[in-house]
A and B are shown apart, each in its own frame.
Chain A
Amino acid sequence: MRLFLAMAWRNVWRHRRRSVLTVMTIALGLAFNIFMRALGDGFHEQMVDNSVRAHIGHIQIHRAGYHDDPAITKTLPQPDRIRSAIESLPGVRGASFRVLGDGLASSAENSAGVSVVGVDPDEEPTVTTIHRAVIRGRYLERGQHKPCLIGERLAKTLQVDVGDSLVLLAQAADGSMAGEKYRVEGVFRSGAPELDRGVVYLVAEDAQELFVLPGRFSEAVILLDSSRAVDETARRLEAELAGLEVEVLPWYVVEPYIQQFIELDDAFFYVIVLILFIVISVGILNTILMSVFERVREFGVMMSLGMKPRQVVRLVVLEAFLLGVVGVVFGGLLGSAFTLYYEAAGMDFGAWAEGAAALGLTTTITYPKLTAANLFWSNTSVLLVVVLVAFYPAWHAARLEPVEAMRHV
C-alpha cells in the first residue's frame, strides 16, 4: 500500500502547474463554501438573537390557547408557581412577566392602533434590550406618574415627544371601555418596525389597572444563556408545570417566519453550493482525465504485469483523493482564516440597512460564525465530490485493454 501511496502522490505532482491550479480551484471553492456557510450561520444567529432580545425571548409561557387566540382574559394561572419553576431551571438568564392588550393611542394630533405591553421595569431588561434602545428621554421607572415608552415611528405618527401626553383607549378584561392618560417618558428605536411603530410599553401595574387585570399577567418571557438549550428547557418547563393550563412555546413557534426564512435562506445557499461543486467537479474531472489519457501506456504496462482493473480504479481515485486532501487543507485554512477575521471584525452591510431592519436585524454589521459542523461538512463534502468525480476517469482507465493501451503513443 505504501508503494501505491507514494506512486499516487508522485503522480499528482508530475504536472506541478496543473495540480497547483486544481488545488487552488478546490481550495478557493472550499474557502468560499466555509465563509458563506459561516456568514449564513452568523446572520441567522444574529437574526434570531435580535428577535429574541428585541421582544420575544427564547421561550414564552401563556395560558393554553393564548398563542392561537390571544384574548385578554387568558392570563397565566398561578404566576408565582410559574416564576418558581423558571427560577429552578439552569441556564435561565432572565424572565419577564408581561401584561398584554390592544388599544388605541391618541394624542392631540393623531391616533393609532397599538399593542400595549405592561412590564416590570426591573425584570424586562433581563430579557430584552428595549431599555438600551431609548434614544430620547429615559426608560420606564416605577413611581413615576403613569409613564410610557413609545417607538420612534409611533411618536412621529402621533406627533408627540418626551414629556407629552397620550391617551390609551382599550377594552378591559371585564368588558368595559377603559381610557387613561400617560406621559411619554422615553422614545425608543429598536430597529424592529413592528415595535417602533406599534407598541406602547407601560409599567405592569398601570397596564393591569388599564385592562382591569389586577395581579394578573398575560405571558412570561424567558431568556436563556444559550439558544441551543431552548428545546430542552422548554421540555423541562412543561414537566415542571404539568397540571397547569399553560402552553410553553419556543421562539420559533412564537415567530415561525424567522425559522421559515432561515430554511429558505439555507435552500438558496445549497443551490449556490451545488453550482460551486459543479465548477469544482469540472476542474477535477479535467485534471484527472488528462492525467489518465497521458498515462494510457503506463496503465497498459501495469495491467500487463497483473494489476487488476479494481486496483487501477483504486490508484486513480487515490490520486484524486490526495489532490483533494491538499486542496481541503489549504481551503480549510484559507476559509477559516478569512472567516475568523470577519468573525472578529464584522461585515458592514450598511447599504442594505432597510432590508436588514425588515428581517428584524437591529444592526447592519453581521458577524460570520465558524462552527465545527461547518468545517466538518464543508471539508467532507468537497473531498467526497473530488473522489466521486474521479471514478469516471478511473473507470475509463480500468477498461483499457493492456495490448491496445501499450500501443498508445
Chain B
Amino acid sequence: MSEKRPAALVEVRGVSKTYRDHVAVHALRDVSFSLAKGEFAAVVGPSGSGKTTLLNLVGALDVSDSGLIRIAGHELTATPREELADFRLRHLGFVFQAYNLFPVLTVLENLEFVAVLQGMAAAERRRRARELLAAVGLAGLAEKRPPELSGGEQQRVAVLRAIMTEPDLVLADEPTANLDSENAGILLDMMERMNREKGITFLFSTHDPRVMERARKLIRLRDGRIE
C-alpha cells in the first residue's frame, strides 16, 4: 500500500513567458518546480535571469503564456485576471525591495491595511498588529510614520505587513538589497522565526549570498531556465 504524498503548496509546471515589445524577450522557458508548505526558499540567479518575472507569475501579478501555476490548490493560470486581486488578498503576502510602505499611514495602520481589505474586525486586526510589533521589538514604532523609520525598520514593518493575515505564501523580491549586513541579518532572523513559529512559507528572489545561505531550498535560474 503506497502512502499518498501531500500536495505541494506551490506547483509550477512548464511555465514560459515572453515579453514582446520591439523584440521578443524570452524571460522564462519551461520552468518547473514545487514548494511544500513551510518552505524557506529562494529563486537565485544573475540579473536578467527571470527571477522577478517568476515571482510576478507566482504572485499572480502577471500571467504566463503557457504552463501551469497552482498555489494552495488554486490554479492561477485558469483564474480570470479580475479575480487575481482577490487571490492575492486571501493567499499571498508581499515584501518589496523598496519597502513600499504607505507614507501617510502609521506603522500600525500599515500593518492593518491588508486586514482591512480582508474585512477583519477592527479589534482583532489591532490586536494582531500590536502582537506582531511587540514580538519583533518594534512596539515603540506603532504610531510612527514610515519616513520616520530607518530602512531596516521599514523593511521589518513590511515583512510584518506581509504576514499580518497569515497568508499561504510570502513572496519577497530582493528584500535585503537596500539593507546593510546588520539590518539584513536582523530581517532574515525575523523571517526565519516567522517561518519556524507560524509555518509561513517564504519564497525570495535574490542574488544576495546572505539570503542564499539561509534558504533551505534554492531554485537557480539562468537565462529563463532552471539550472
Which A residues form the contact surface with B (CB < 8 A)?
A: 2-4, 6-7, 10-11, 14, 297-298, 301-309, 311, 402-403, 406
Contact = CB atoms under 8 A, between A and B. Distances in A.
The 5 closest A-B pairs by CB, nearest first: A306-B89, A10-B104, A301-B100, A306-B88, A3-B116
A11 B102 CA distance: 10
Contact of A298 (B102, B109, B122): B102
A10 to B, nearest CB: 4
A306 B114 contact: yes
Contacts of A11: 104
B86 interface: yes
Contact of A305 (B56, B109, B114): B114
A303 B112 contact: no
A402 to B, nearest CB: 5
B165 to A, nearest CB: 9
Contacts of A309: 82, 85
Contacts of A311: 117
Contacts of B88: 304-306
B104 A306 contact: no
8 contacts: A3-B105, A10-B105, A304-B94, A306-B86, A306-B90, A306-B114, A306-B118, A308-B86
Contacts of B112: 3
Nearest to A13: B104
A2 B122 contact: yes
Contacts, number: 59
Contact of A308 (B56, B85, B96): B85
Interface SS of chain A: helix, strand, loop or mixed? helix
A378 to B, nearest CB: 31
Max chain B Cβ within 10 angstroms of own Cβ: one of A11, A301, A311: A301
Interface in B160-192: 161
Contacts of B90: 306
A6 B100 contact: no
B113 A305 contact: yes
Contact of B109 (A3, A302, A402): A3
Contacts of B100: 297-298, 301, 406
Interface string B29-63: 00000000000000000000000000010010110
A302 B114 CA distance: 9
Given A3-B109, A3-B113, A406-B96, A303 B85 contact: yes
B104 A14 contact: yes
A6 B161 CA distance: 18
Max chain A Cβ within 10 angstroms of own Cβ: one of B86, B90, B116, B122: B116
Given A10-B104, A304-B94, A306-B88, 19 more contacts: A3-B105, A3-B109, A3-B112, A7-B102, A10-B105, A298-B100, A301-B102, A304-B59, A305-B89, A305-B114, A305-B161, A306-B89, A306-B92, A306-B114, A307-B89, A308-B85, A309-B82, A309-B85, A403-B61
Interface in B55-88: 56, 59, 61-62, 82, 85-86, 88
Contacts of A2: 122
Given A403-B56, A403-B62, A307 B85 contact: yes
A305 B122 CA distance: 19
A108 B82 CA distance: 96
Max chain B Cβ within 10 angstroms of own Cβ: one of A3, A4, A11: A3
B104 to A, nearest CB: 4
Interface string B5-48: 00000000000000000000000000000000000000000000
Contacts of A4: 116
A213 to B, nearest CB: 83
A406 B61 CA distance: 11
